Amino acid sequence: MKIVIAPDKFAGTLTAEEASRAIATGWGRGRPEDSLVRLPLADGGEGTIEVLADSIDGAEMIDLHVSDQFGNTPDSPRRAIRLQNETVVIEVASCCGISQVAAEDRDPWRASSRPLGEAIEECGGTNQLIIGLGGSATVDGGAGLLQALGHQLLDRAGTPISAGLSGLGQLHEVIPRVGVLANSIVIAADVTTQLTGPKGAANIFGPQKGLKAGELDQADEIIARFADIAQASLGVSGLERAPSSGAAGGIGFALMCFEGAIAQAGADVVAGLIGLEQEIASADVVITGEGKLDESTTHGKGPWHIAELARTHGVPVAVIAGQITSDASANFDYASDLGPRGMVDAQALLEDRAEQLARKIGEDRPC
């Protein structure tokens, strides 16, 4: 049988590349006669540029000299990747990512998306930008990004607002930049979350970025007011409800509203760049995985798109996750988790689960 192995990262334990090797090792112990194709996956979140660098011939890593989410100069440059067709892929996670900030230091009231705007400016000579929206530390609606790109966000005194949600709460007027960016922008979003409301950016992802339970309604109100003022400045409406407008704390909204960005599922963007669907179409079984399979998986995460692709071509799909915390596994033919020691022994456990899966599928689909 031909087995396509396409896991996402297991956050905190294994990269997508490491996870794919572990699954291949385990499967090989259970069914050494099978042909294995490893295509580590990313969905626009952290690790996307590494996956593309490993999978695409001629891809070139480049350095970005930008500030961090709190306005400081990082110890080392942020990274992006240039493809042969003059497309540059930038990760929000690299520019202003949540993994760059210790849990106790996360503060969306101060954290800004400005580093991404600086990165876009630095990559201005390219034909197309693909921006991976996942893993951000911010919930500023993309306000800092817009300021870096020349849009004016002013308080009642006509002064530029300060960074983060705190500054956004003082917003009175938006004056859009004159002119458009030279390059087209594709958003590779890892979620379909809208900007505002009970299932918006603040309520769904605010807590993991440092918002307290009692702050969620206030944060959502600030972002909703920003959306009203921003759209009024352009004579548009309704973008706060657009799929992925809430991605990366509202950066999706800012890019769609002010820069004409087109939003696509990040997993689909990456899959297209690495030729994943062609491999799945000729596979007998597809295996995917991630650190935590939960309700957010169903909003556009990588394994969910793998399952959809596999079903399109009538190929059974299995998932191995560090944890499975909801009925999201219902979209997969086989599902297993790593158990309570998943954060400690991830590689060994992933190999074991893959071996068990190989034997189980071998029994179900004898060749």
Domains: count for the chain: 2
Domain end residue (candidates: 235, 267, 299): 267
64 shares its domain with 99? yes
Among 6-20, 175-189, 287-301, 344-358, the least confident range = 287-301
Q: What is the mean pLDDT of residues 351-365?
A: 91
CATH of the domain at 358: 3.40.50.10350
Q: pTM for the full model?
A: 0.86
356 shares its domain with 262? no
In sequence order, the 6+-apart residues with CB closer than 8 A to the CB of 75 are: none
Domain span at residue 334 reads 2-39+275-364
Q: Which residues of 322-358 are buried (b: 16+ CB within 10 A; e: fewer)?
A: bbbeeebbebbbbbbbbeeebeeebbebbbbbbbbbb
Convert the pLDDT of each residue in 134-161 to its tens digit.
899 999 999 999 999 999 999 999 999 9
Instruction: Compute the mean pLDDT over every residue in the chain, rounded to the nearest whole number.
Output: 93
20 shares its domain with 153? no
H/E stretch holding 198 reads: none
The pLDDT, as a whole number, for residue 294 is: 85
